[in-house]
């Protein structure tokens, strides 16, 4: 008789812990073939608010952590992903219905993307900042700084590569975030959360919510302690419009859904600079 | 010793030749508004009418956007080097006609001539000169290999630095190959209309710059027009929020430069005379009509009494009056509406228990005036410590430690500017790194430069104006 396997309970990832939804709700996740795969936690407004509190608490420490350290921690995420290949590939195959060979290529791309972004941590000020030639006896320079707590609606179809591609640049730049994952394909996200949890990433820097973005994202868009919102995963034009309008309540920095975006292509600075502020400091030269 | 009074030293108005009436500047010429309606613009220092200004409506905005769109085809294809030469021409003409612009700015805005002459207009020319040089160097700006213009920019600007804000909007837009429809503030349209003449003298191709005057609904029409690809706004946070809502769900790009409640932080080791000058410059410059004004003075408890006493002594010497007098330090409040807002907020300060003190100066009978005012015993909960007053009103709070100063400075929805006064370099850098503000001035305040990016954190808006970063809002490129 074959052994009965031990199945995993899929939960949220908030403040470094894996809680169920405080609402007690869950939803059925089907694999690409339409078979039952798991019950995932259906995140609620309260979960979203808890996640924002966690992200805000983590912001000061993470944004002021030195860039070398941030780069190493993000690089370690790639290391842990590499060591969890088998499960990540299995999750992507199950959720996206890919062959093993294609799922492996997706994972390769996701890991390589993390490595690419990790290296940016200590280069952003050199590339995005500048000394300014002002016409007077002043030392004047501009440096990039993270915007703060960013809400991210991750794309629905690409369950791992897109998730990594929208989350990592925000974090490398020193922000903290609350990510609403793919609703129908949430399993790779939860496995990825386990990678994050074992990568020395401080608690609260990344928080992952599985569930319905049409339900949760409005609370994040109107939340006054959220500084920016990335609507990459919001394909519904009416919802995108209402979220962007709600985000105006505290002038959140926003990024819109881009139907043209190809997750397989190596990215550029756009996602890194999207949630950065420029701080200009000016001081007289003299005795 | 008796105080020696200055004799009046008025700047001549003869350099300004006002027309009776101004149309809209669309497609290279002045045209009648579709409605045929005009309103009077006045001198806030004496309420005398200066000229009649066209009230632009939706039809006029549409006409201007269409002109800008037509002009975009050629302008965006012109080589950067050729665009640069047009913008350099504009900079030179502004320098040549600087005095005329300065006098007109002071007449229509109420700011002292020494500021319009020595700050506003020189910065305007410098801004055009700076961005002219970028026009043929955009591929070196760090936004990727193939930077392209966005299209037609709809720009709405405030009344506090009328021509300077025009330059912050138009210079980078043109350098990047965009065309513009600009809506000046309703109370201060005159220098923008004089700028239209500069565009004609420079032989800037018709339709590259269009200026549509009017009230709030004119600006709203510019923002909402479907043919506008990029919206840039400077003004209040409340209006900025409305604009962000209007733009939601469109493809329009948006940059906003909004309100502030800047903290000017004075430590006990600061050079006192310089700090007091910096406090005065931070809040009484331009009648406090400055989004980045140092309107909250945070002073270390051990020197608070001394600083406030020195500040009051200095405020007594501020000369309030005729904006065209070359010795005037503080001019007129720009409008009756703004004066009412400043008065209402100041009254709330007294009502809520803060201690009010104003310099002892005679105010003219006509026009809109407000004596430089300082509030002590202010708590963080008071409206005068939280809301932008946009007038010559300073709120003084105290702190004991740098950590407390940071906590209080950042305790605001705004994040535009801050000042630090200390002789200790490491403390400056510590404060600068912890303050959530887009501009941090150390041992100085209110210093502007075209090469220096300017803009806010949090509800002070997003996007930067000035310098390399100021190009980003007007470019399509890989890294934008």
Interchain proximity B459–A237, CB inside 8 Å: no
Hey, how many other C-beta atoms are within 10 angstroms of the C-beta on A29?
A: 21
Q: Is residue A6 part of a domain?
A: no
Q: What share of chain A is helix, strand, coil (3-state, %, to 5)?
A: 45, 20, 40
- Can you tell me the distance from the alpha carbon of A78 to that of B387, in angstroms, rounded to the nearest whole number? 46
pLDDT of residue A286: 86
Q: Is residue A212 part of a domain?
A: yes
DSSP state of A65: S
Q: List the single residue in B with minimal CA-CA distance to A131.
A: B452
pLDDT of residue B1: 53
pLDDT of residue B6: 87
Interchain proximity B480–A128, CB inside 8 Å: no
End-to-end CA distance of chain A: 86
Supply A150's token pair: 């960013």
| Closest partner CB to B248 (pick from A244, A277, A283) | A244
> What is the arithmetic mean of pLDDT over B328-336?
98
Q: Which burial class, exposed, middle or buried, applies to B225 when counting CB atoms under 10 A from its CB (0-12, 13-18, 19+)?
A: buried
Which residues partner with B22 through β-bridges?
A: B53
Q: Considering only the top CATH level, what class is B263-442?
A: alpha beta
Cα→Cα distances A56→A6, A97, A189, B338, Å: 36, 37, 21, 37
Q: Are B436 and B415 in contact (CB under 8 A)?
A: yes
Chain A neighbours among B 360-389 (CB < 8 Å)? none
> Is the overall model pTM greater than 0.95, yes or no?
yes
> What is the arithmetic mean of pLDDT over B332-342?
98
Q: Is residue A125 part of a domain?
A: yes
> What is the arithmetic mean of pLDDT over B165-177?
98
Q: Are B372 and B392 in contact (CB under 8 A)?
A: yes
Q: Are B433 and B279 in contact (CB under 8 A)?
A: no
Name the 3-class secondary structure at A184. Answer: coil
Q: Which residues of A179-206 are buried (b: 16+ CB within 10 A; e: fewer)?
A: bbbbbebbbbbbbbbbbbbebebebbbb
Residues in chain B: 480
Taking the Cβ of residue B419 and every Cβ of chain A, the question of whether any pair is shorter than 8 Å is answered with no
Q: Are A39 and A28 in contact (CB under 8 A)?
A: yes
Supply A143's token pair: 């440096």
Taking the Cβ of residue B205 and every Cβ of chain A, the question of whether any pair is shorter than 8 Å is answered with no
CATH 3.40.605.10: which residues of chain B?
21-258+458-476
How far does A165 lie from chain B, in Å, by closest CA? Answer: 15
Q: Is residue A8 part of a domain?
A: no
Q: Are A284 and B444 in contact (CB under 8 A)?
A: yes
Hey, how many other C-beta atoms are within 10 angstroms of the C-beta on B344?
A: 11
In three-state form (DSSP H/G/I as H, E/B as E, the rest C), the secondary structure along chain B is: CCCCCCCCCECCCCCCCCCCEECEEECCEEECCCCCCEEEEEECCCCEEEEEEECCCHHHHHHHHHHHHHHHHHHCCCCHHHHHHHHHHHHHHHHHCHHHHHHHHHHHHCCCHHHHHHHHHHHHHHHHHHHHHHCCCHHHCCCCCCCEECCEEEEECCCCCHHHHHHHHHHHHHHCCCEEEEECCCCCCHHHHHHHHHHHHCCCCCCCEEECCCCHHHHHHHHHCCCCCEEEEECCHHHHHHHHHHHCCCCCEEEEECCCCCEEEECCCCCHHHHHHHHHHHHHHHHHCCCCCCCEEEEEHHHHHHHHHHHHHHHHCCCECCCCECCCCECCCCCHHHHHHHHHHHHHHHHCCCEEEECCCCCCCCCCCCCCEEEECCCCCCHHHHCCCCCCEEEEEEECCHHHHHHHHHCCCCCCEEEEECCCHHHHHHHHHHCCCCEEEECCCCCCCCCCCECCCHHHEECCECCCHHHHHHEECCCC
Name the 3-class secondary structure at A191. Answer: helix
| Percent of chain B clearing pLDDT 70 (strictly above) | 99
Active site residues of B: 257, 291
Cα→Cα distances B445→B40, B278, B291, B404, B461, Å: 35, 6, 13, 21, 20
Q: List the single residue in A with minimal CA-CA distance to B241.
A: A248
Taking the Cβ of residue B428 and every Cβ of chain A, the question of whether any pair is shorter than 8 Å is answered with yes
CATH of the domain at A64: 3.40.605.10
Cα→Cα distances B8→B3, B204, B323, Å: 15, 41, 11
Average pLDDT, chain B: 97
Q: Are A103 and A92 in contact (CB under 8 A)?
A: yes
Closest CA to B272 of B246, B320, B309: B309
Cα→Cα distances B157→B233, B447, B449, Å: 6, 20, 18
Closest CA to B332 of B104, B111, B35, B9: B111
How far does A274 lie from chain B, in Å, by closest CA? Answer: 8
Supply B388's token pair: 């932008």
Chain A neighbours among B 258-287 (CB < 8 Å)? 258
Taking the Cβ of residue A147 and every Cβ of chain B, the question of whether any pair is shorter than 8 Å is answered with yes
Interchain proximity B478–A251, CB inside 8 Å: no
pLDDT of residue B212: 98
Q: How confident is the model at residue B2 (pLDDT cuts 50, 70, 90)?
A: low
pLDDT digits (tens, 9 = 90+) for B292-320: 999 999 999 999 999 999 999 999 999 99
Residues 6+ apart with CB under 8 A from B14: none
Which residues partner with A20 through β-bridges?
A: none
DSSP state of A17: B
pLDDT digits (tens, 9 = 90+) for B187-215: 999 999 999 999 999 999 999 999 999 99
- In this structure, whether the domain defined by B21-258+458-476 belongs to CATH 3.40.605.10 is answered with yes
- Can you tell me the distance from the alpha carbon of B119 to that of B9, in angstroms, rounded to the nearest whole number? 19
Q: What is the ipTM of this complex?
A: 0.96
Taking the Cβ of residue A132 and every Cβ of chain B, the question of whether any pair is shorter than 8 Å is answered with yes
Residues in chain A: 287
What is the number of structural domains in chain A? 1
Interchain proximity B458–A227, CB inside 8 Å: yes
Low-confidence residues of chain A: pLDDT under 50: none
Closest CA to B431 of B440, B423, B303, A284: B440
Residues 6+ apart with CB under 8 A from A17: A203
> What is the arithmetic mean of pLDDT over B176-180?
98
Query: To probe the interface with A, which of B91, B123, B462 has the most A CB atoms within 10 Å?
Result: B462
- Can you tell me the distance from the alpha carbon of B385 to that of B414, in angstroms, rounded to the nearest whole number? 12
How far does A183 lie from chain B, in Å, by closest CA? Answer: 23
Taking the Cβ of residue B337 and every Cβ of chain A, the question of whether any pair is shorter than 8 Å is answered with no
Q: Is residue A31 part of a domain?
A: yes
Strand B263-266 to strand B152-156: parallel, antiparallel, or no bridges (unpaired)? unpaired
Q: Which residue has the tokens 């001081």?
A: A283
pLDDT digits (tens, 9 = 90+) for B118-140: 999 999 999 999 999 999 999 99
- Can you tell me the distance from the alpha carbon of B259 to that of B236, in angstroms, rounded to the nearest whole number? 5
Interchain proximity B452–A142, CB inside 8 Å: yes
Q: Are B196 and B166 in contact (CB under 8 A)?
A: no
Closest CA to B456 of B233, B287, B247, B178: B233
Helix (H) or strand (E) holding A80: helix A67-83
Q: Are B215 and B239 in contact (CB under 8 A)?
A: no
Supply the range of the domain harboring residue A249: 26-284
Task: Flag whether pLDDT at B91 surpasses 90.
Answer: yes
Task: Flag whether pLDDT at B4 surpasses 80.
Answer: no
Cα→Cα distances B400→B141, B303, B304, B313, B420, Å: 43, 10, 10, 24, 15
> What is the arithmetic mean of pLDDT over B334-344?
98
Interchain proximity A241–B249, CB inside 8 Å: yes
Taking the Cβ of residue A283 and every Cβ of chain B, the question of whether any pair is shorter than 8 Å is answered with yes
Residues 6+ apart with CB under 8 A from A108: none
Q: Is residue A9 part of a domain?
A: no
Q: List the single residue in A with minimal CA-CA distance to B421.
A: A283
Closest CA to B195 of B218, B163, B222, B171: B163
Q: Are B453 and A134 in contact (CB under 8 A)?
A: no
pLDDT digits (tens, 9 = 90+) for A123-155: 999 999 999 999 999 999 999 999 999 999 999
Taking the Cβ of residue A87 and every Cβ of chain B, the question of whether any pair is shorter than 8 Å is answered with no
Closest CA to B456 of B236, B281, B300, B269: B236
How far does A20 lie from chain B, in Å, by closest CA? Answer: 32
pLDDT of residue B435: 98
Q: List the single residue in A with minimal CA-CA distance to B256.
A: A251
How far does B281 lie from chain A, in Å, by closest CA? Answer: 15
Name the 3-class secondary structure at A9. Answer: coil
Interchain CB contacts (distance < 8 Å): A and B: 120
pLDDT digits (tens, 9 = 90+) for B396-433: 999 999 999 999 999 999 999 999 999 999 999 999 99
How far does A278 lie from chain B, in Å, by closest CA? Answer: 6
Calculate ∠ Cα B450-B291-B187, nearest 5°.
95
Residues 6+ apart with CB under 8 A from B304: B396, B398
pLDDT of residue B352: 98
pLDDT of residue B479: 87
Task: Flag whether pLDDT at B391 surpasses 80.
Answer: yes
């Amino acid at each position: 008789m074959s052994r009965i396997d031990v199945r995993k309970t899929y939960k949220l990832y908030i403040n470094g812990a894996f809680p169920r939804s405080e609402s007690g709700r869950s939803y059925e996740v089907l694999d690409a073939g339409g078979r039952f795969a798991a019950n995932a936690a259906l995140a609620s407004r309260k979960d979203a608010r808890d996640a924002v509190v966690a992200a805000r608490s983590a912001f000061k420490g993470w944004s002021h952590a030195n860039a070398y350290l941030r780069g190493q921690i993000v690089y370690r995420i790639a290391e842990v992903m590499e060591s969890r290949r088998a499960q990540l590939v299995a999750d992507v195959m199950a959720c996206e219905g890919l062959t093993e060979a294609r799922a492996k290529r997706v994972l390769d791309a996701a890991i390589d993307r993390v490595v690419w972004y990790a290296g940016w941590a200590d280069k952003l000020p050199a590339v995005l900042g500048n000394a300014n030639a002002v016409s007077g006896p002043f030392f004047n320079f501009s440096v990039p700084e993270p915007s703060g707590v960013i809400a991210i609606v991750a794309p629905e179809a690409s369950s791992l590569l897109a998730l990594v591609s929208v989350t990592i640049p925000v974090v490398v730049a020193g922000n903290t975030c609350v990510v609403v994952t793919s609703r129908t394909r949430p399993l790779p996200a939860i496995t990825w959360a386990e990678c994050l949890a074992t990568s020395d990433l401080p608690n609260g820097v990344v928080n992952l919510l599985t569930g319905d973005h049409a339900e949760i994202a409005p609370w994040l868009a109107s939340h006054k302690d959220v500084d920016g919102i990335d609507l990459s995963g919001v394909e519904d034009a009416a919802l995108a419009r209402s979220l962007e309008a709600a985000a105006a309540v505290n002038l959140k920095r926003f990024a819109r859904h881009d139907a043209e975006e190809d997750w397989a292509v190596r990215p550029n600075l756009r996602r890194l600079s999207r949630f950065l502020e420029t701080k200009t400091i000016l001081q007289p030269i003299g005795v | 010793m008796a105080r020696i009074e200055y004799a009046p030293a008025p700047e001549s108005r003869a350099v300004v030749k006002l027309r009776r009436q101004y149309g809209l500047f669309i497609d290279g010429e002045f045209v009648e508004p579709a409605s045929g309606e005009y309103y009077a613009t006045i001198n806030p220092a004496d309420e005398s009418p200066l000229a009649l200004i066209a009230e632009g409506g939706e039809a006029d905005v549409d006409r201007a956007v269409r002109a800008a769109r037509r002009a975009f085809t050629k302008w965006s294809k012109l080589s950067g080097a050729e665009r640069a030469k047009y913008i350099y021409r504009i900079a030179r003409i502004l320098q040549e006609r600087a005095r005329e612009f300065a006098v007109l700015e002071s007449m229509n805005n109420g700011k002292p001539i020494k500021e319009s002459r020595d700050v506003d207009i020189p910065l305007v020319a410098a801004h055009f000169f700076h961005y002219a040089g970028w026009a043929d160097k955009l591929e070196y700006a760090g936004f990727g290999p193939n930077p392209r213009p966005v299209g037609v920019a709809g720009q709405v600007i405030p009344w506090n630095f009328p021509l300077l804000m025009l330059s912050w909007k138009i210079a980078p837009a043109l350098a990047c190959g965009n065309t513009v429809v600009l809506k000046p503030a309703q109370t201060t349209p005159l220098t923008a209309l004089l700028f239209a003449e500069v565009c004609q003298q420079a032989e800037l191709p018709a339709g590259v710059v269009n200026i549509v005057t009017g009230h709030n609904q004119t600006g709203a029409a510019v923002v909402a027009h479907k043919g506008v690809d990029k919206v840039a706004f400077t003004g209040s946070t409340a209006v900025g929020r409305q604009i962000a809502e209007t733009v939601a769900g469109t493809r329009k790009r948006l940059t906003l430069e909004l309100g502030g409640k800047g903290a000017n932080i004075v430590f006990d080791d600061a050079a006192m005379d310089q700090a007091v000058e910096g406090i005065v410059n931070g809040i009484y410059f331009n009648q406090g009509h400055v989004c980045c004004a140092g309107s909250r003075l945070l002073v270390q408890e051990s020197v608070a009494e001394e600083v406030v006493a020195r500040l009051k002594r200095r405020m007594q010497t501020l000369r309030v009056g005729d904006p065209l007098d070359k010795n005037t330090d503080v001019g007129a409040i720009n409008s009756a509406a703004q004066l009412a807002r400043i008065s209402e907020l100041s009254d709330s300060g007294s009502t809520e228990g803060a201690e009010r003190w104003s310099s002892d100066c005679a105010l003219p009978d006509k026009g809109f005036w407000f004596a430089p005012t300082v509030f002590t015993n202010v708590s963080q909960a008071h409206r005068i410590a939280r809301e932008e007053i946009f007038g010559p009103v300073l709120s003084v709070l105290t702190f004991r430690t740098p950590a407390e100063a940071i906590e209080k400075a950042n305790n605001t929805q705004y994040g535009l500017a801050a000042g630090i006064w200390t002789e200790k370099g490491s403390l400056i850098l510590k404060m600068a790194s912890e303050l959530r503000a887009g501009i941090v001035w150390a041992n100085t305040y209110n210093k502007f430069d075209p090469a220096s990016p300017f803009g806010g954190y949090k509800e002070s808006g997003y996007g930067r104006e000035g310098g390399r970063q100021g190009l980003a809002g007007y470019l399509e490129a890989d890294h934008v």
